[in-house]
Structure 1
Amino acid sequence: MIVETNIRATHMFQLIAKWIIIYLLVATIVCIGYIELGWHIAIPETEIAIVGTALSILMGFRVDAAYKRWWEARIIWGAVVNNSRTFAREVMGFVGNQHYDIGRELIYRQIGFVESMGKHLRRQGGIEHLNRLLSQDDYEIIKTKKHVPNTLLMMNLKQLADLNTQGELSTYLLVQLETIIQNLTDELGKAERIKNTPFPVPYGYFSWLLVHTFACLIPFAMVKELGYLTIVLSIVISFIFLIIEQIAIQIQDPFENRPNDTPVTTIAKNIEIDLREILGEIPLPEPLRPKAGVSM
């Protein structure tokens, strides 16, 4: 996620540069053809203005739909942060006072869950990152599982149930902690829904097609009234619509490990710091700093 307020325009411009060059050539050819060669290629401004208005409304819906997906992803990870802190606090309050090692094991699994959830959503394979957090027995079990985050939650629930059976944890507290695990399962499922549900292809494709069609038609509507000034104005208008389209593309899939995505790696590290602080560990890991204004 881009965290700097002084976002450099060069990155976004690079994404649409080839189209700007194409439409610059189109506008130049139209102007030369109409003014110098006498081609009768002008079209009425009113019709293009109507198309532009309709397209503006469509692009508004397009960006709004993409932003809702992006914002829901951020809400999900906010809930993961809150539930992780609550889980660690209650584990240390109800379990860790008498069984610190067990409480530490439960909390380290929660840290592993958060890291694994981020990698799972980004389709980043491998479980090597869990080697520092899990016992050897747990690590061997995880090697045989396909859904690592879900398995880690199950491991924690099983250990809490065993404590309840042994009389070390009351049923009421077990239910409290199980509710938190259920909340984490829900948030994982919500994030997977976003990841596994592609942005509607017809919606994205036809908005893209209409933007480029409109950009091609702009010079034909302006050349009669504006002459060579058409080149400048048509590029400005095309740039606006292309940027809006690119914004929607950049945020519609928030778990693709791109600069505008939800910074799951940074959030996971912050959760680890918070949970290890609850454990009373020192020194704590350093938070991840943005690189080139981007937090991943």
Structure 2
Amino acid sequence: MIVETNIRAVQMFKLIAKWIIIYLLLSIIVCIGYIELGWRIAIPETEIAIMGTALSILMGFRVDAAYKRWWEARIIWGAIVNNSRTFAREVISFVGQKNAEGGKQLIYRQIGFVEALGKHLRKQGGIEHLNRLLSVTDYETINSKKHIPQALLAMNLQQLTLFNEQGSLSTYQLVQLETVLQQLTDELGKAERIKNTPFPVPYGYFSWLLVHTFACLIPFAMVKELGYLTIILALIISFIFLIIEQIAIQIQDPFEGKANDTPVTTIAKNIEIDLRELLGESPLPEPIRPKAGVQL
């Protein structure tokens, strides 16, 4: 996720530079052909204006749909942060006083869950990153699992149930902690829904196609009235629509590890710091700093 507020225009321009060059050349050719060579290639302005209005409405819906996916992803990870803190706090209060080592194991699994979830959503395989958080037994257990985040939640529930059977955790406390685990499972499912449901291909493709069709037609509609001024104005209009389209493309899939995506790696590290602080550990891990204005 981009966190710097001073985004240089050149960074945005790079996303569409090749298309700007293409439409610049097209505008120059149309102007020279119509003005100097006498080509009768102008088309009525009214039809293009109507098309531009319709396209503006479509692009508004396009960006709004992409933004809703991006914002929902951030809401989901905000809920994961809150539930992780709640789980750790309740574990320390309910379990930690009677079984400090058992409580620590539960919290470390929760840290592992958040870290594994981020990698699961970005399809980054391997569980070596969990070796520092889990016991040898836990590590060997999840090594055979396909869905690591789900396995870690299940292991925590099994251990809490065992504590209840042993009398070190009341039934009410078990239900309270199981509710938090259920909420974490819900957020896991919501994140997977976004990840596994691609942005509708016809929606994205045809909006892209219409933007480029419109950009191609602009010089033909303006050259009769504006002459060589068409080159500048056609370029500005094309730039606006291309940037709007690119914004939607950049935010529509928030778990791909791109610059504008949900910073799951940074959030996971912040959760680890918070939970280890609740355990009273010191020194705490260093937070992940943005690189070139981007949090991953």
Same fold by TM-score greater than 0.5: yes
Shift in Å at residue 12 of structure 1?
2.0
Partner of 2:141: 141
TM-score with structure 1 setting the length: 0.99
Q: How many residues in Structure 1 have an aligned counterpart in Structure 2?
A: 296
Matching of residues 1-296 of structure 1 within 5 Å: 1-296=1-296
Shift in Å at residue 97 of structure 1?
1.1
Aligned alpha-carbon RMSD (Å): 0.5
Shift in Å at residue 172 of structure 1?
0.4
Which 4+ stretches in 1 moved above 6 angstroms?
none
Q: Percent identity?
A: 82
Deviations 1:92-137 (A, max 9, x none): 0010012110000000000000000000000000100100000000
Shift in Å at residue 9 of structure 1?
2.1
After alignment, is 2-11 or 259-268 more displaced?
Answer: 2-11
Distance 1:239 1:69 in 2: 25
Secondary structure of 2:282's partner? coil
Deviations 1:152-194 (A, max 9, x none): 0000000000000001100000000000000000000000000
Which ranges in structure 1 are unaligned for 5 or more consecutive residues?
none
Distance 2:44 2:21 in 1: 25
Shift in Å at residue 11 of structure 1?
2.2
Distance 1:81 1:144 in 2: 27
Distance 2:82 2:119 in 1: 19
Secondary structure of 1:245's partner? helix
Shift in Å at residue 88 of structure 1?
0.1
Which ranges in structure 2 are unaligned for 5 or more consecutive residues?
none
Secondary structure of 1:262's partner? coil
Distance 1:126 1:11 in 2: 33
Shift in Å at residue 149 of structure 1?
0.2
